[in-house]
Structure 1
Amino acid sequence: MEELARGIPIILEWIAGNETCKEAALKESYACVANNSKCIDVIEAPGYRCNCTQGYEGNPYLKDGCRDINECNATRFPNSCKGICTNTDGSYDCKCPLGTHSGDPKNKECVPQVKLVIGICISIIFLIICISTLLIKIQRMKLEKEKQRFYDQNGGHILYQKIISGQVNTVEIFTEEVLKNATNNFDSGQKLGAGGHGIVYKGILRDNNVVAVKRSNFLHVTDAEEFVQEIIMLSQINHRNVVRLIGCCLEVEVPILVYEFISNGTLSYLIHGDSRRYASLKLRLRIAQESAEALAYLHLSTNRPIIHGDVKSLHIMLDDSYTVKVTDFGASRWLSNEAVEQIAMVQGTRGYLDPEYLQERKLTEKSDVYSFGVVLLELITGKKAIYRHDGDGDFESLAGSFLRAMEEERVENILDTSLAGASMEALPLLQEVAKVGSMCLSAKGKERPSMAEVTDMLKAVRIAWRDLLVSSEYNVTEVFVDSSEAPPSGNPSSAVFWTPDMQSLEVETLR
């Protein structure tokens, strides 16, 4: 009873007025003045009581006494919502997160909705596919437009019209896709050589025809019609010692040229590579004459004479029967009407460059004659155009060393005397060929013979010394002394003939 010592607790219930809610509402003294309040009739006694409506709390007897209850307050109402709670005026919303569902999220946990998730994922994937397809289509359209632009820029429509009209039947137009398929997308394993002008690839066309596909680093087409005419003329070159142009691809920025494939490597590899000991004097002289004939043909026998511009042993190819195929017109020029082509920038290879061309920047047929003279020296000396004296000394120019030897009448010191035989019977023959070489190396172009004259001189030498060349001492297998050491017959593998020494091989272009 100690708790009651201070008195008995009393619970008071307030009652407003002594009338019903309906009656009180008509009077100015109505007590339930708060918004969101309600009137409740008291049953036990006359009068009424005011309460805030559901979702509100406060004093209903004051004008703004009833305030919204925030049912989303997790501290006051921890179990009001099992999903995402959003408070509203006088109430609240409870929804499950996306991808989940519940029969009553206010009282039951939300669980994953598998079908919805799958549907959303499929929709997203479908949207991605549609966007990707659209982007690919747009990219292809851009690529096709770009290909068409390059095709027109490089004169493709002009060449095509000439082909379908029957004016031209010596050149074929390839698509980039065909050449990619032929070279395994220009795979490095198909690479035959690379140089300053571009890269050469081995390609196999759909008809199993083997070709050399040459991608240039640069080839400036300033006049589409003139470029097409040059392509046509190159394709019409018909000489057994000149590599034949088969066709071209014009739908790329830099036109790709397609040539016949030559399987047996270069003259440079023959005389300077591992097979050097097999090259007989008879074979070397035949190669020299055939190379001279090819250059003479380019200078004289075409509608518009062509200057090769970069004659060297690396640009003289050999087929399966060791027949010469002059190639790589990377620095070639069509001869102008004045018979001289002015060059802004020197092109060519050190050791082979015409000194007159270096001084005057004028490219003529006699520039090719000088370069051929260096190739002729390579054939009879076995030395490279730029070589080390005594194997480990300073680098020397073969042309310079040879001309000094000629002046000092000691030319036999620089010749490859192993070609003359044990008793030196062929030394006079080598000296005659050396005289032809010295004429080609004259300092002034006008003092050099033409390539046609060089061809005649070499032919005369071979005829004059024919008996010696076919004598028993020289009547050996033209290339291989010992068949057990010779590469297998047929098409030698690229591993045998395409060597690191050929990495400076440049791409045939027209400019």
Structure 2
Amino acid sequence: MSKRFIKRRRAAKLKQKFFQRNGGLILQQRLSSIEDNHKAKGKLFASTELDIATDHFNKSRILGQGGQGTVYKGMLIDGTIIAIKKSKVVNVRHVERFINEVIILSEINHRNVVRLLGFCLECEVPLLVYEFVPNGTLYQYLHDPCRGFPISWETRLRIANEIAGALSYLHFAAAIPIYHRDIKSSNILLDESYRAKVADFGTSKSITIDQTHVTTKVHGTVGYLDPEFFRTSQFTDKSDVYSFGVVLVELLTREKPICELRAEEGRCLATYFIILMEENRLSWEKEEINAVSNLAKRCLNLKGRYRPTMKEVAMELE
């Protein structure tokens, strides 16, 4: 047996081992059970293809880094620009999140939700391949002083409308209702026309039509987390509404969700905004902005049952 043959066989065995460890068999099973067989369910990319596309995951290709992993910019042989999310570590929880994101994005088709092109399971850590969205995140757009260009109210209102439309679709129009569970401005991407794309579905949950909530370990981002969910561990569609309310206030005020520079009671933007609204210290020249402020206040109600649904929010913003 030649050395080259042995080397190739070892590499193939290792790829198969990674494929199984990264949840490949479970994923194949789950994807084949999705009823809509006409929908593209994501291509299975070869590790060599993605390695070449990112110049061996060169540091200069990094688009962003988060708790779950690093996102790289890549270019396929046919010239398609892509974004590749590379998980940080592999443990059972990460594999579950990875499978969850693939399944959920395989069931979604909406112009304001980031498109999953495929995935790779034959490397040490699983890789997700998305359409490339060139203008960074809404968080950067609103809060990065280096960007320094004014954002018109019309643009901000349109972005709010697009995010609300995507969430309304997830809650009410997707084949299976989906709770996003981590809505924040850094999970909203902006395309070449500054149109919103909701991203990062690693912790999202599909629910059955008759379910009203999921009972789960408290997860989310400080500043966006629904206080009712924090208290009860029950995540409902209204928990997404609360997080959206915070994003809406960011769009209104261009203030960060948490800011140490504000007085103590105002460090959390949601609390600060409600105080200003109740003391009538917020009034805008445009009637439209006042209407959106009142809508944001309703989204941030401490009691979920008094918040509007995402469908109602989308209709009002429309």
Q: TM-score, normalised to structure 2's length?
A: 0.86
Alignment match, 2:214: 341
CA deviations on 1:396-444 (whole Å, 9 max, x unpaired) are: 00011111112222223xxxxxxx6xxx4x2x33221110000000111
Q: 1:172 aligns with which of 43, 63, 67?
A: 43
| CA distance in structure 1 between the partners assigned to 2:135 and 2:230 by the alignment | 33
Counterpart check, 1:371 vs 2:240: no
Gaps of 5+ in 1: 1-129, 413-419, 460-511
Alignment match, 1:33: none
Alignment match, 2:117: 246
Alignment match, 2:26: 155
| CA distance in structure 1 between the partners assigned to 2:274 and 2:151 by the alignment | 25
Whether the aligned pair in 1 keeps the contact of 2:19 and 2:121 (CA below 8 Å) is no
CA deviations on 1:188-221 (whole Å, 9 max, x unpaired) are: 1111111111111111112111111112235748
- Equivalent positions of 1:410-449 (< 5 A) are 410-412=281-283, 424=285, 426=286, 428-449=287-308
Distance apart, 1:338 and its partner CA: 2.1
Secondary structure of the residue that 1:386 maps to in structure 2? coil
| CA distance in structure 2 between the partners assigned to 1:198 and 1:341 by the alignment | 26
Q: Which shows bigger deviation, 184-193 or 348-357?
A: 184-193
| CA distance in structure 2 between the partners assigned to 1:451 and 1:159 by the alignment | 28
More contact order relative to length (CA 8 Å, sep ≥ 6): 2
Alpha-carbon RMSD across the aligned residues, in angstroms, is 3.0
| CA distance in structure 2 between the partners assigned to 1:162 and 1:175 by the alignment | 23
| CA distance in structure 2 between the partners assigned to 1:185 and 1:223 by the alignment | 23
Secondary structure of the residue that 2:239 maps to in structure 1? helix
- After superposition, the Cα gap between the structure-2 partners of 1:159 and 1:330, relative to the gap in structure 1 and judged at 3 Å, is closer
- After superposition, the Cα gap between the structure-2 partners of 1:211 and 1:141, relative to the gap in structure 1 and judged at 3 Å, is closer
Q: 2:278 aligns with which of 389, 407, 427?
A: 407
- After superposition, the Cα gap between the structure-2 partners of 1:154 and 1:357, relative to the gap in structure 1 and judged at 3 Å, is farther
| Alignment: residue pair count | 311
| CA distance in structure 1 between the partners assigned to 2:143 and 2:53 by the alignment | 31
Whether the aligned pair in 1 keeps the contact of 2:57 and 2:72 (CA below 8 Å) is yes
| CA distance in structure 2 between the partners assigned to 1:374 and 1:222 by the alignment | 27
Counterpart check, 1:216 vs 2:87: yes
- After superposition, the Cα gap between the structure-2 partners of 1:133 and 1:388, relative to the gap in structure 1 and judged at 3 Å, is same
Alignment match, 1:55: none
Q: 1:396 aligns with which of 233, 252, 267?
A: 267
Alignment match, 1:358: 230
| CA distance in structure 2 between the partners assigned to 1:152 and 1:268 by the alignment | 32
- After superposition, the Cα gap between the structure-2 partners of 1:399 and 1:153, relative to the gap in structure 1 and judged at 3 Å, is same
Whether the aligned pair in 2 keeps the contact of 1:357 and 1:363 (CA below 8 Å) is yes
- Equivalent positions of 1:112-131 (< 5 A) are none
- Equivalent positions of 1:448-459 (< 5 A) are 448-459=307-318
| CA distance in structure 1 between the partners assigned to 2:50 and 2:278 by the alignment | 53
Report the residue type matching 1:444 in the other structure. K
Gaps of 5+ in 2: none
Whether the aligned pair in 2 keeps the contact of 1:241 and 1:325 (CA below 8 Å) is yes
Report the residue type matching 1:181 in the other structure. I
Q: 1:301 aligns with which of 162, 173, 197?
A: 173
Alignment match, 1:472: none
Whether the aligned pair in 2 keeps the contact of 1:369 and 1:448 (CA below 8 Å) is yes
- After superposition, the Cα gap between the structure-2 partners of 1:339 and 1:175, relative to the gap in structure 1 and judged at 3 Å, is farther
Whether the aligned pair in 2 keeps the contact of 1:387 and 1:397 (CA below 8 Å) is yes
Report the residue type matching 1:448 in the other structure. R
Answer with 1 or 2: which has the greater Rg.
Answer: 1
Q: Which shows bigger deviation, 300-309 or 267-276?
A: 267-276
- After superposition, the Cα gap between the structure-2 partners of 1:254 and 1:444, relative to the gap in structure 1 and judged at 3 Å, is farther
Report the residue type matching 1:260 in the other structure. E
Q: Percent identity?
A: 41
- Equivalent positions of 1:37-56 (< 5 A) are none
